[in-house]
Chains A and B, each alone.
Chain A
Amino acid sequence: MKIIEKKVLADYQDTKITKLVILSPDIARKALPGQFVVVMAKEESERIPLTVVESQDEKITLILQELGFSTKLLGSFNVKDSLYALAGPLGHPTEIKNYGHIILVGGGVGIAEIFPVAKALKKAGNNVISIIGARTKDLLILENELKENSDKLYICTDDGSYGTKAFTTDLLKQLLNDTRHPMPYTLVYAVGPIPMMKKVTEVTKEFSVKTMVSLNALMVDGTGMCGCCRATVGGEVKFSCIDGPEFDAHLVDWEELEKRNRIYIDKEKHICNLNKL
């Protein structure tokens, strides 16, 4: 649970994305793309889920956007510091097989989450097209990593400071709309902020392309014990931790998830203010 490498991947105005490499032989041996760990920074901390971005040689890599109190606290940790608790790998891994032509969409820190999936799907023989986007150039992460693991990489920024000035969903729509060939894509895999995943869902529904998303629901234990992470998928209540975290995007009740993820927004502000974070 010791941090052996730390790197700030992006730092722009009040947004910071940090990479932590943590020694955890048991988890590193087991983690597969799409799985997550539950982390507690300190004894008094929350338990928060974070996607395992890479796992090799007894180490796992986590990439976090320092957004709320707990991620900011984690971001304040340094090399040689130890986490109080780390459990996993949790959730079902991504189904890795040869789908043929696929599109991966990553927005913001979600780029970190599509990276291991891109890598595995590329290795499985897929023709991988990746679309990554961020608010601005300085917040775009893992460009090279995605380039290496994609057959084609599209980049966009909201302000046009790098790549195309567009949203990821605009580029996605263009790709799906390309009528020069019969639409070849059999899977779209998207991770990013909820509004982005919601929009991806709208776009791909139009083209009837199977779309998988990894939900970022709030969790406590991460092992099915509490139901904090429940989401409505296809009219049924699912627990993101044990039934997911990936689900068919076309079946997810996005509005409910969006609201549930804001349950503690006031408490979050309070604790951040209190700690001057």
Chain B
Amino acid sequence: MGKEPIIPRELSAKERASGFSEVVLGYTEEEAIREAGRCIQCKNPTCISGCPVEIDIKKFIYQITQKDYQSAYLTIREKNIFPSICGRVCPAEYQCRKACVLTKKDSPFASEQAINIHFLERFIGDYGMKHSFQIPGTPHPIRDARRVAVVGSGPAGLCCAGELARKGIKVVVFESLHKPGGVLRYGIPPFRLPQDVLDFEINYLKELGVEIIVNVVVGKTKTLDELFSEGFSCIFLGLGAGVPSFMKIPGENLCNIYSANEFLTRVNLMSAYKFPRFHTPINIGKHICVIGGGNTAMDAARVAVRLQKINNIPSDVTLLYRRTEVEMPARRLEIEHAKEEGVKFKFLVQPKGFIGNDRGFVEKIRSLECRLGEPDSSGRRRPVPIEGSDFELDCDSAVVAVGLKANQVLTSVTPGLKTDKWGDLEVDSDTMQTSIKNVYAGGDIVGGEGTVIEAMGMAKKASKAIIETLS
């Protein structure tokens, strides 16, 4: 292949660190056509198998080369109702791009040469948004009184709602927070997913007739039984992953140690970076440590860089990870962005404890160095702490991004709902139906933390089963 991949324009590291503007600017039309032109249109495309919702990638890329953007939009939307979101947040290098024939064999993630499918998807999504393209499969009129309740308005819930609404089914989405979007709102920062893109996709659902009710904590405000007795025929649970895990090391409850969820929620959902105009506070350290190696850790570190910049604090954000860069589960692009923005990476480090002052505020983090041992069940080499390698770092603010556990608020009050040993919901893998008839589930509450598009894949499966049940 003589043609080099087209890298979309980005804000410079300097420009972006001073605010929450979107970093990746996306393709121009000309760039999109050139990138699409790199696709060799395989006879038997492998990329589609890498997409959890099986977008006809080959087809929409071909349509871009023909400048038939309306058709490309329809091709994507047929399988994925949120192209502008997925084009931004999908870990394409582990999914479609990894499956692209241009990725070198046995590579842990997509090669650079692989077609930038996600950027093309985003181009089409944004193009459609800008030009108000007609939504494919004009919604059927709401045909009868059968209604479906969707619990949670994150990727799984919104996707399920959209799929059902497209078939003319009346859907009511219940969200526990005061704004819809779930992790797309509270977790993913605006510099990766601008709020207006999210709002656009949510408004599209509303136009389809989806009703979204915020401030309802299902399990507390209403039980599943009550939803059924209110006349809902089926319920879809897209509860999300829920409760943040901590490391269980000494000093972890010192002040200014945040879970990534708390840190990101304060900033993204509650706009703490606009304090005091917005009233939710956040304490911004001079030496911020972020612990973890996933996308959430990367988001937290990059938010931390911006908070320091906005407050004229010299940048000092360090990310601590137990393994090395290659084992990091985060998206490669996010790792690169974090580096460009000045996040310092310390690999092979295992935190051992935090040390605070007499007012209970964290001042230092103590860690052990690690080496890589034998591969563990995930196939990644296990970090082995080295005895006596203790060292301390200044740390007056820390963000713990080491994963989430299932939230039990609903399951604990719904005895019929079967969960596995992690507290996640057990479902039929074909229909996504839970142990309760007509109650379906998808997203992180099934099988633990996954990606936005995986959640949508499950939601689509469930919506299909729900449609069958209702017809």
In the assembled complex, the CB of A255 is this many whole angstroms from the nearest CB of chain B, namely 8
B309 to chain A, nearest CB (A): 19
Counting chain B CB atoms within 10 Å of each CB, which of A84, A223, A262 scores highest? A223
A87 at the interface (CB under 8 A from B): yes
* A44 within 8 Å of B (CB atoms): yes
Question: How far, in whole Å, are A70 and B359 apart by their CA atoms in the complex?
Answer: 24
**A224 lies within 8 A of B242 (CB):** yes
**What chain B residues lie within 8 Å of A69 (beta carbons)?**
279
Chain B residues in 8 Å Cβ range of A164: none
Find out whether the CB atom of A227 lies under 8 angstroms from the CB atom of B275. Answer: no
Given the interface pairs A220-B270, A224-B243, the reply to whether A90 lies near B217 with Cβ below 8 Å is yes
Interface residues in A217-246 by Cβ distance below 8 A to B read: 220-221, 223-228, 230-232, 237, 239, 242
Residues from chain A with Cβ under 8 Å of B243 in the complex = 224-225, 227, 239, 242
Chain B contributes a number of interface residues (CB within 8 A of A) equal to 43
8 Å CB interface, B223-245 against A: 240, 242-244
Residues of A within 8 A of B252 (CB): 237
- Given contact pairs A30-B220, A85-B178, A90-B220, A271 touches B255 in the complex (Cβ within 8 A): no
| A residues in contact with B221, CB < 8 Å | 26-27, 30, 87-89
Contact with B along A30-52 (1 / 0, CB 8 A): 10000000001000111100000
Given the contacts A237-B253, A242-B408, A259-B360, A270 and B276 also touching, CB distance less than 8 Å:
yes
The answer to whether B434 has its CB under 8 Å from any CB of chain A is no
Contact A46 B261 (CB under 8 A): no
The reply on A267 being an interface residue by CB < 8 A is yes
Question: Is the beta-carbon distance between A260 and B255 smaller than 8 angstroms?
Answer: yes
B216 at the interface (CB under 8 A from A): yes
Q: Are B246 and A86 in contact (CB under 8 A)?
A: no
On chain A, the residues within 8 Å of B256 by CB distance are 263
Q: For the complex, what is the distance from the CA of A85 to the CA of B178, rounded to whole Å?
A: 6
Does A237 contact B214, Cβ atoms closer than 8 Å? no
Contacts of B222 in A (CB 8 A): 26
Which positions 119-162 of chain B face chain A at CB distance < 8 Å?
A: none
Contact residues in B for A260 (Cβ distance below 8 Å): 253, 255, 360
Evaluate contact between B262 and A89: CB separation under 8 angstroms: no
Complex Cα distance, B215 from A220, in Å, reads 13
Query: In chain B, what residue has the closest Cβ to A27?
Result: B221
Q: How far is the CB of A213 from chain B (nearest CB, A)?
A: 18
Mark each residue of chain A from 130 to 156: 1 if its CB lies under 8 Å from any CB of chain B, else 0.
000000000000000000000000000
The contact string, 1 if C-beta is below 8 Å from chain A, for chain B 293-333, is 00000000000000000000000000000000000000000
Q: Considering the chains assembled together, what is the distance between the CA atoms of A40 and B215 in angstroms?
A: 11
Contact A40 B283 (CB under 8 A): no
Q: How far is the CA of A100 from the CA of B240 in the complex (A)?
A: 42
Sample of 13 further A-B pairs with CB below 8 A, known A44-B271, A88-B217: A26-B221, A47-B280, A70-B279, A87-B176, A87-B217, A220-B270, A223-B409, A224-B409, A237-B252, A259-B255, A262-B255, A263-B256, A263-B283
A/B interface sample: 30 pairs, CB < 8 A:
A30-B221, A46-B279, A47-B178, A69-B279, A87-B215, A87-B216, A87-B221, A88-B220, A90-B220, A220-B280, A223-B409, A224-B243, A224-B409, A225-B242, A226-B244, A226-B259, A227-B259, A227-B261, A232-B253, A242-B243, A256-B253, A260-B253, A262-B255, A263-B255, A264-B283, A267-B283, A268-B281, A271-B275, A271-B281, A275-B276
Closest 4 CB pairs of A and B: A259-B360, A226-B262, A267-B281, A85-B178
